[in-house]
Structure 1
């Protein structure tokens, strides 16, 4: 391709066939640039989605930890209430 371009630069008259080739190459270049830009846009969207997913995971992990701690407190309180009730029952039956 470089050789063909160099040869065209040296010509004073460019044949129709060569002009068609140049137009074709220019159109291909435009299409390639559009594809590159679309790929960059998609990459930016993917990066944004990934970062948002990371934030969501961190938030969910924090929520999970808080729920687990709350559940452990509830279980501890229930165990204490059960023990108190058992002690009262034992005291009432004696």
Structure 2
């Protein structure tokens, strides 16, 4: 391709065949640029989705921790209430 470009630079008259080749190369270059831009856009979307997923995971982990702590407190309170009720029942039975 470089050789062809150098040969074209030296010509004062450019044959139709060479013009067609230049047009084809320009069209290919435009298509490649469009593909690169689309790939970049898709990469940006993927990065954004990944970062959002990371934030969601962190938030869910924090929620899970808080729910677990709340559930442990409820279980502790229920166990205490059961112990009190058992003691009262035992006290009433004596």
Task: Name the TM tier (shorter chain).
Answer: over 0.9
- 1:10: how far off? 0.3
Structure 1 segments (4+ residues) deviating >2 Å: none
RMSD: 0.3
**Residue aligned with 1:56, SS:** helix
Question: What is the distance in 2 between the residues matched to 1:2 and 1:34?
Answer: 23
Deviation track 1:48-76 (CA, whole Å, cap 9, x = no partner) reads: 00000000000000000000000000000
Task: Specify every segment of 5 or more residues in structure 1 that has no aligned partner in the other structure, as ranges.
Answer: none
Deviation track 1:13-36 (CA, whole Å, cap 9, x = no partner) reads: 110000000000000000000000
- TM-score (ref. length: structure 2): 0.99
Question: What is the distance in 1 between the residues matched to 2:56 and 2:75?
Answer: 28
